[in-house]
Structure 1
Amino acid sequence: MKNILAYIFLGLILLPRDANCADEKVNIIPDVVYGHKYGMALTFDVFQPQNPNGAGVLFMVSGGWYSRWTEPQNMQGWFNPLLEEGFTVFCVRHGSSPKFKIPEVVEDVRRSVRFIRRHAEKYGVNQNQLGVWGGSAGGHLSLILGTTSDQGDPNATDPVLKNSDRVAAVAAYYPPTDIREFVDEKSTYYHRYPALQFEADLAGDFSPLLHVTPDDAPTLLIHGDQDELVPISHSNNIMKRFKEQKVPAELIVIKDAAHGFKGEDQNRARQAVVNWFKKYLLTP
């Protein structure tokens, strides 16, 4: 059972099976390079709807902090509900585990936001109407962006780094919100997920639970009440912090769902994400 849950956590459930739903009306720009590291390119794919609404959603391709490449046409089915409402979707890949650890992964996804903001006009989106969405490790990264953004470094020599990595809205499925207990050699998570194998005293820096402040992005959490891999307490705890800090937030609990949504649960979650971004990215 643990092995099955581990594979789910790696994000296999995020790869949609309905590849046939690719719509020729959607323009796909594959493999846009937003940075380099160790001689390798960091890339994202852009999905542009026929009638864009001016808002963009970054999808974090991350499960267990592994970030796998998938043929863009095979990913489109996952994004169709957003595309049909006019959202431009950026499918973002980061430097993957096991080579890279969470601190390095976070720098990558920060850079992806900065890059897209810098080139927003090119992709037909408003730089102030960017949201981020992910599941499991991708949800963790989405919350990191929602709670610990900065305005960029005006003195940076790299023009991308001069831009803010702030997002206007967040949606996260079953996200780890406090990784301090995971970044411990005694933890089974530590040995199962190599991205957690970094200095334990830095774990708090990458635990969204500890960084909630009133200016955080409006956040939607969706979690199954039978999740054994990332217990629902992770979402409950950060939801409490959001309420205390008066951050617009909502937690949708899916009854009897484990780690990964299927069938009607998946449809319900996807529609909730669409509604959330319509509310917080399209409203002036």
Structure 2
Amino acid sequence: MRVPFQLCAAALLIAMSPRGSADDVIISPDVVYGHKLGLAMTCDAFTPQEDANGAAVLFMVSGGWYSGWSPPEQSQHMFRPLTDKGFTVFAVRHGSSPRFTITEAVADVRRSVRFIRANAERFKIDPDRIGVFGMSAGGHLSLMLGTASDDGIAESKDPIEHISDRVNAVVAYVAPTDLRVMAKDAPDRLAAYGGFPALEIDQQAAEVDSPLLHVSPDDPPTLLLAGVKDELVPIFHSRNIQAAFQKANVTSDLIEFENAGHGFGGEDARKATEAMVDWFVTHLSK
């Protein structure tokens, strides 16, 4: 179930990717942003050589809360719509299901934001202009960064944790927002969720990682992109959190694609990518 998601993600971003030379972007592979169980947690950085705008956008490498590695040279084209606009892009990997839980994945991506912000000078970015986006589980992680982050953990012995993990703009594609309805004891749980080890949680445990329950007026500008015919993550996930954003007076928008399911193709993909890029241009401008 992971492979179709990853192919969809690539197709979605390629839809607006102009052809260009790979030499116009500097790739910094396997940047270590932390360690877990003696292993490195890594991300890849894609930095425009010309006309960099100083803003960063993190992409959550996640489908079904599975996070895999691929050579960054093979994924560079996915981020061209952003790097062509001057954004430095970080492809962030997290501790992957089934070994690690959703809660642990959330903690990992929070650390990635802290690390990147702490090293803003190194990456030549503005620590106050950091966006995040992702698709499906990656969209969920993006929303968790938008709704449930903090200003740093002052009592931590780790200096990286003293840094805020807040982001300044979010774009979430086909994102789960209420994990309670996906939990193993949910009365109307979809049968498909049984194929995701990360969702072997009960409703009580699901609350802490449900973005819908963390919405507050200080959340960053958030764009939601969803397919009306999505049978894996039904449209109500996006509609419900959009209603919560509106109630909290959070700058937000929901774009619904009438004929799309869990992923977009063709003209829908082009429009979604264009909307994502425009959102970051608007809300991460200097």
For Structure 1 versus Structure 2, the TM-score category normalised by the shorter chain is over 0.9
Residue among 6, 9, 12 paired with 1:11: 6
Q: Secondary structure at the match of 1:15?
A: helix
Counterparts of 1:22 and 1:263, CA distance in 2: 24
Counterparts of 1:169 and 1:56, CA distance in 2: 10
1:122 matched residue in structure 2: 122
Counterpart AA for 1:273: M
Counterparts of 1:200 and 1:228, CA distance in 2: 21
Counterpart AA for 1:44: C
Counterpart AA for 1:13: C
Instruction: Give the superposition deviation at 1:189.
Output: 4.8
Counterpart AA for 1:45: D
- The percentage of counterpart residues that share the same residue type is 51
Evaluate the alpha carbon distance shift between residue 235 and residue 176 of structure 1 in structure 2; reply closer, same or farther with a 3 A threshold: same
1:182 matched residue in structure 2: 182
Counterparts of 1:21 and 1:13, CA distance in 2: 22
- Residue correspondence of structure 1 range 224-235 to structure 2 within 5 A: 224-235=227-238
* Count of aligned pairs: 278
TM-score w.r.t. structure 1 length?
0.93
Instruction: Give the superposition deviation at 1:39.
Output: 1.7
- Residue correspondence of structure 1 range 74-223 to structure 2 within 5 A: 74-185=74-185, 187=189, 188-223=191-226
Q: Does the CA contact (< 8 Å) of 1:10 and 1:66 recur in 2? A: no
Q: Does the CA contact (< 8 Å) of 1:106 and 1:141 recur in 2? A: yes
TM-score w.r.t. structure 2 length?
0.92
Deviations 1:198-247 (A, max 9, x none): 35422111111111111001000011111111111110010001111110
Counterparts of 1:146 and 1:172, CA distance in 2: 10
Q: Does the CA contact (< 8 Å) of 2:180 and 2:202 recur in 1? A: no
Instruction: Give the superposition deviation at 1:274.
Output: 0.7
Q: Does the CA contact (< 8 Å) of 1:33 and 1:43 recur in 2? A: yes
Instruction: Give the superposition deviation at 1:262.
Output: 1.3
1:3 matched residue in structure 2: none
2:269 matched residue in structure 1: 266
Q: Which moved more, 1:106-115 or 1:72-81?
A: 72-81
Counterparts of 1:105 and 1:12, CA distance in 2: 22
Instruction: Give the superposition deviation at 1:197.
Output: 2.2
Q: Does the CA contact (< 8 Å) of 2:143 and 2:170 recur in 1? A: yes
Counterparts of 1:279 and 1:182, CA distance in 2: 34
Evaluate the alpha carbon distance shift between residue 199 and residue 238 of structure 1 in structure 2; reply closer, same or farther with a 3 A threshold: same
Counterparts of 1:106 and 1:11, CA distance in 2: 20
Over aligned residue pairs, what C-alpha RMSD do you find? 1.8
Counterparts of 1:174 and 1:21, CA distance in 2: 29
Instruction: Give the superposition deviation at 1:10.
Output: 4.5
1:257 matched residue in structure 2: 260
Counterparts of 2:5 and 2:278, CA distance in 1: 26
Counterparts of 1:29 and 1:11, CA distance in 2: 22
Instruction: Give the superposition deviation at 1:159.
Output: 1.1
